[in-house]
Structure 1
Amino acid sequence: MPTDCISYQKSGYFSKLITDYLDKKPELEQLYNHFPTIENFENQVEEKGKNFNSNEKREVLVDILENQYSKIEISELTKQNITLLKDTKTFTITTGHQLNLFTGPLYFLYKIISTINLCKELKINYPKYNFVPIYWMATEDHDFEEINHFNFKDKKFRWNKESKGPVGRLSIEDLTTFFDVFKTELGSSNNAEYLKKLFSYSYLQHSNLADATRFLANELFGEYGLVILDGDSAALKKQFTPYVKDELLYQNSNKKVLESIAKLKDYSIQVNPREINLFYIEDNLRERIIHENGNFKVNNTTIEFSEIEILNLVETNPEKFSPNVILRPLYQEVILPNLAYIGGGGEIAYWLELKAMFDFHKVTFPILLVRNSVVLINEKQETKRAKLDISWEELFLKQQTLVDTKTKQFSEININFSEQKAHLKKQFEALHKIALKTDKSFSGAVNAQEKKQIKGLENLEKRLLKAEKKAHTSQLERIVQLQNELFPNESLQERKSNFSEFYLETGNSLIAELIKELKPLSECFSTVKI
């Protein structure tokens, strides 16, 4: 494995809010509970244990999980983890993700592996407790356009279908044609045949997207004890009804999140709360609930409730109420004995808006951990990198900066004209002194001449750099080609490529190697050779 450690802060791929969070800037301390260090989990366990002390909640959770898993075969470790959730000494580490077709981008794997590996690390450090990795499926999300495709070898494979309701309930009966197209791209190797079977068993033998995604994630990670949870459950939402009623009647989440946003005035805001942060859902409908003229209306429909009617519906049919991005984290933490949430930079950014809301509701705020980020590199690419004598720190540079940097390294000429600029400015200092003794027009002429000559040196510097690039074209092109392979479209590989592209080359060793190499508390971009 390449040993270069590129910190998230220096990678150039994280927002100022996240880099300041990782740097533990004092002004952000009030927006989270405990910073993610192994030592801080001791206090988190104590706090969550006091806050989540309902055996009934644990019994309901286990019953729901056993029911959701009833139609698929699961590993002994996953069975054991589900049973352990009844024990008051068992806690969860959770990540969440949309139901992207065939997992979507690579970082789906990294989220789950970060979660699995953190549980292992916690068990070593706190052996008297149990830690269960949870993948929370975003089954109630309705943004189908975000999940209906994936990229494979620079080609986008899109599932063309209409969807308006919660995606977990979406029928997948029409994916046969999609599969026929995709499987022709896979070839006929042993790894290709496995991927075909995995897609077929996941999507062609289940009736909805939630069941398909559960089967797929279980096939990939079941042996590591992953527990997959679908929050679209009447029994689980029954536990959340007090918070739903508070949202409908008093809109406290809006007030509290706005308080936190006011403290984030120096940063870009990830999400903004609504007056009511709930959706009304049915199989083919997920629309916002709006309070208007004393009644509660479902946006873009004729559905309307009085206050008494909607509060009765919360009691009788809690499954019809779906939390949005603001309330979903609270729902998760109410029903799970959870210690930490693992997510990407964007997710952690919006979680940092939520602590005041959690404090108001007296629900323990989880530790927030930025998931592992990875660049996968094969043997051929690693050999090329070594021959080109290019470091990982350089590969993370923007391409233009990378090319300029390497050109200056290759050149036998000093392309930096800083010394000449400094000498020129010193010469003009004497002229400025003379200008002080005469009229303003001469002073203006001196300033103009200085700017003109500095600009002239800068242009010469650019022309020299351009000439040296031509002289080293061949070597620079190989560097650019390597960077394009590892950072497609000058973006992160993990945001563009699907796992199948790499599984085709490596087989089962892909996930095994990631499990072996990723360190969830490292705050480092991992570079993993496959």
Structure 2
Amino acid sequence: MPTECIPYKETNYFSELILDYLAQKEKLKPFYNHFPEIENFKAQIEEKTSFPIENREVLVQSLKKQYAETVVSPATSKNIDRLSQKTTFTVVTGHQLNLFTGPLYFLYKIVSTINLTKILKEKYPEYDFVPVYWMATEDHDFEEISFFYLHGKKFKWVNAEERAGRDAVGNLSTNGLDEVYKLFSAEIGGGTNAEHLKDLFKKAYLQHENLTDATRYLANELFKEQGLVILDGQHKELKDLFIPFAQRELTEQLSYKTTHPKTEALSELGYNVQVNPREINLFYLHDGLRERIIESEGRYFVHDTEIEWSREEILRELEEHPELFSPNVMLRPLYQEVILPNLCYIGGGGELAYWLELKDYFEAEKVPFPVLLLRNSALIQNEKINEKREKLNISVKELFLKPHELINRKVRQISNIDIDFSPQKEHLVQQFQHLYEIAEQTDKTFLGAVKAQEVKQLKGLENLEKRLLKAQKRKLEDHVHRIAELQNSLFPNQSLQERQTNFSELYAEYGEGLISTLLKELNPLEAEFKILTFGK
């Protein structure tokens, strides 16, 4: 398959923080332990050998309960059993329970995770490595997960329960998704691949009662042959393991004390802080609600409810019902590393940004901090689109320009007149430099007048350049339209394809070859953006 790569920096879609992390800038080294290079995983393995064997036993039993109603592939079953062995480690990615997987990068996350376990096995054959998808069942941002895009159209789950947005999304009933199914079926059309997608949607969402079970079924069907293990952290047995850490969160507010200085340090370095920690980073799950816990003057309250406890009462509630205490985005990473023998977390740029705030917290809790790896990113096109790009003389790198920048560049290149007035502007600046010298020698009060005249004339040249460019665009209207149409097809809503397009749009065209090609082409340790060209 034809593939091309460009550095992440040249895509103009990644933050300065992530680019500096990939470049291993010295100023960011205090925020992580081991950079994701294959040789560094040996030290990570040695650090994680301290993972308690009793935690492994709890994990395996919990997973078997979670898979009780799911047809488990031999590969996944074997991986679950392997987790009881002290020589087995995990690689984890996490994602929200987006409707029908949401944006395309859901696949990239999981493929990156599966492929890294294969690479690790080749390098360290004496160990086993299991890919894990952590379902964000305890999240409550319903608006973010309630839709997906297909052929530029938005398919939204509008008949969800009233509690949507306050309850943990994994608990939501799948009622109302039959309407989405009807609209989706009409849009996806016919053919073998389309029929498979309809069947997949129907079995996932119309034959399972809640969003957790539906998502588990869907992800399992897509990746069961690769042995993917799908984990729901909202289980009492797993929450039992986290009780000591949750106790310290309630009584010592350790996460805030250790992460707040890190967020300030990142801010002082000029980076945008992804997540600001709360003093208590736990939610309480109660009667269809997930609300944050607040401490004030020695008493604990559940925000926007009448629930409150003394210190002794809330600690007793935690001991008796740990499943009702839900970690937020700052605490969930620690919970993950407490219940999994994990080496590496694979996520997008926004996720790695908040993980970089957490290293000191992990050290304070004496839990090994995992390797942080940016997931693969890719742009998928077919040969027909690629041929159009070549005919329009647009390079792969130029595809990532802003629309107006790309069009202006191409119009200038194909015009029979020179619409770049940079030489004239430079000549004008040189002329005015001489006038500045004359004014300086005669009457300095004229400096302002000279400056005003310079600005006026430069502005005049810029306006003339814009008018000529606009006129040439009209003259080349058909060419401009084809450029815009090409870029819009690959960058819907002027965004990366992977952040907008649902996998079903590509699966309908390429079928099983979509996932098999991603598994073949995406190497998570190659820190470059890939462009994959599928056959017609």
Report if TM-score (shorter chain) is over 0.5: yes
Give the partner amino acid of 2:516: A
| Contact 1:294–1:307 (8 Å) recurs in 2 | yes
TM-score, reference length from structure 2: 0.96
The equivalent residue for 1:5 is 5
Q: Distance in 2 between matches of 1:147 and 1:410?
A: 44
> Following TM superposition, by how much is the alpha carbon of 1:2 offset from its aligned partner in structure 2, in angstroms?
4.2
The equivalent residue for 1:326 is 330
The equivalent residue for 1:43 is 43
| Contact 2:3–2:532 (8 Å) recurs in 1 | no
Query: Which secondary structure state, in structure 1, belongs to the residue aligned with residue 291 of structure 2?
Result: strand
> Following TM superposition, by how much is the alpha carbon of 1:397 offset from its aligned partner in structure 2, in angstroms?
0.6
Give the partner amino acid of 1:263: A
The equivalent residue for 2:496 is 492
The equivalent residue for 2:154 is 156
Give the partner amino acid of 1:518: L
Query: Which secondary structure state, in structure 1, belongs to the residue aligned with residue 125 of structure 2?
Result: coil
Cα distance per residue 1:128-151 (max 9 Å; x no partner): 111100000001111111111111
Q: Structure 2 vs 1, CA of residues 333 and 126 (structure 1 numbering), >3 Å: closer, same or farther? A: same
Q: Distance in 1 between matches of 2:414 and 2:401?
A: 17
Q: Distance in 2 between matches of 1:243 and 1:470?
A: 65
> Following TM superposition, by how much is the alpha carbon of 1:226 offset from its aligned partner in structure 2, in angstroms?
0.4
| Contact 2:104–2:498 (8 Å) recurs in 1 | yes
Q: Distance in 2 between matches of 1:145 and 1:321?
A: 23
| Contact 1:4–1:393 (8 Å) recurs in 2 | no
Q: Distance in 1 between matches of 2:103 and 2:194?
A: 18
Query: Which secondary structure state, in structure 1, belongs to the residue aligned with residue 441 of structure 2?
Result: coil
Q: Identity rate of aligned residues, in percent?
A: 58
Question: Which of 442-451 and 307-316 deviates more?
Answer: 442-451
Q: Distance in 2 between matches of 1:239 and 1:132?
A: 21
> Following TM superposition, by how much is the alpha carbon of 1:48 offset from its aligned partner in structure 2, in angstroms?
1.4
The equivalent residue for 1:121 is 119
Give the partner amino acid of 1:155: K
In the TM superposition, 1:84-123 aligns within 5 A as: 84-123=82-121
In the TM superposition, 1:136-147 aligns within 5 A as: 136-147=134-145
> Following TM superposition, by how much is the alpha carbon of 1:283 offset from its aligned partner in structure 2, in angstroms?
5.2
Query: Which secondary structure state, in structure 2, belongs to the residue aligned with residue 501 of structure 1?
Result: helix
Q: Structure 2 vs 1, CA of residues 283 and 223 (structure 1 numbering), >3 Å: closer, same or farther? A: farther
Q: Distance in 1 between matches of 2:376 and 2:418?
A: 39
| The one of 443, 446, 449 aligned to 1:445 | 449
Q: Distance in 1 between matches of 2:198 and 2:287?
A: 29
In the TM superposition, 1:101-500 aligns within 5 A as: 101-160=99-158, 161=160, 162=162, 163=164, 164-265=166-267, 266-282=270-286, 284-500=288-504
Query: Which secondary structure state, in structure 1, belongs to the residue aligned with residue 181 of structure 2?
Result: helix
Query: Which secondary structure state, in structure 2, belongs to the residue aligned with residue 364 of structure 1?
Result: coil
Q: Distance in 1 between matches of 2:432 and 2:169?
A: 68
Query: Which secondary structure state, in structure 1, belongs to the residue aligned with residue 384 of structure 2?
Result: helix
| The one of 36, 57, 68 aligned to 2:55 | 57
| Contact 1:169–1:283 (8 Å) recurs in 2 | no
Query: Which secondary structure state, in structure 2, belongs to the residue aligned with residue 132 of structure 1?
Result: strand
Question: Which of 95-104 and 287-296 deviates more?
Answer: 287-296
Q: Distance in 2 between matches of 1:248 and 1:464?
A: 66
Cα distance per residue 1:74-108 (max 9 Å; x no partner): 21111111111111111100000011111111111
Matched length: 528
Q: Distance in 2 between matches of 1:87 and 1:407?
A: 62
Q: Distance in 2 between matches of 1:211 and 1:429?
A: 72
| Contact 1:137–1:231 (8 Å) recurs in 2 | yes
| Contact 2:36–2:373 (8 Å) recurs in 1 | yes
Question: Which of 340-349 and 294-303 deviates more?
Answer: 294-303
Q: Distance in 2 between matches of 1:429 and 1:67?
A: 79
Q: Distance in 2 between matches of 1:382 and 1:106?
A: 20
| Contact 1:279–1:324 (8 Å) recurs in 2 | yes
| Contact 1:48–1:364 (8 Å) recurs in 2 | yes
Q: Distance in 2 between matches of 1:3 and 1:513?
A: 11
Q: Distance in 1 between matches of 2:35 and 2:337?
A: 17
| Contact 2:60–2:80 (8 Å) recurs in 1 | yes
Counterpart check, 1:34 vs 2:38: no
Cα distance per residue 1:132-175 (max 9 Å; x no partner): 00000001111111111111111111112122311112221332
> Following TM superposition, by how much is the alpha carbon of 1:456 offset from its aligned partner in structure 2, in angstroms?
2.2
| Contact 2:89–2:128 (8 Å) recurs in 1 | yes
| Contact 1:259–1:356 (8 Å) recurs in 2 | no
Give the partner amino acid of 1:491: S
Q: Distance in 2 between matches of 1:283 and 1:344?
A: 33
> Following TM superposition, by how much is the alpha carbon of 1:208 offset from its aligned partner in structure 2, in angstroms?
1.2
> Following TM superposition, by how much is the alpha carbon of 1:317 offset from its aligned partner in structure 2, in angstroms?
1.0
> Following TM superposition, by how much is the alpha carbon of 1:449 offset from its aligned partner in structure 2, in angstroms?
2.1
Question: Which of 439-448 and 40-49 deviates more?
Answer: 439-448
Q: Distance in 2 between matches of 1:221 and 1:47?
A: 29
Query: Which 5+ residue runs of structure 2 have no aligned equivalent?
Result: none
Query: Which secondary structure state, in structure 2, belongs to the residue aligned with residue 4 of structure 1?
Result: strand
Query: Which secondary structure state, in structure 2, belongs to the residue aligned with residue 40 of structure 1?
Result: helix
The equivalent residue for 1:518 is 522
| Contact 1:167–1:209 (8 Å) recurs in 2 | yes
Q: Distance in 2 between matches of 1:212 and 1:442?
A: 75
Give the partner amino acid of 1:467: A
Q: Structure 2 vs 1, CA of residues 44 and 17 (structure 1 numbering), >3 Å: closer, same or farther? A: same
Q: Distance in 2 between matches of 1:425 and 1:275?
A: 56
Query: Which secondary structure state, in structure 2, belongs to the residue aligned with residue 24 of structure 1?
Result: coil
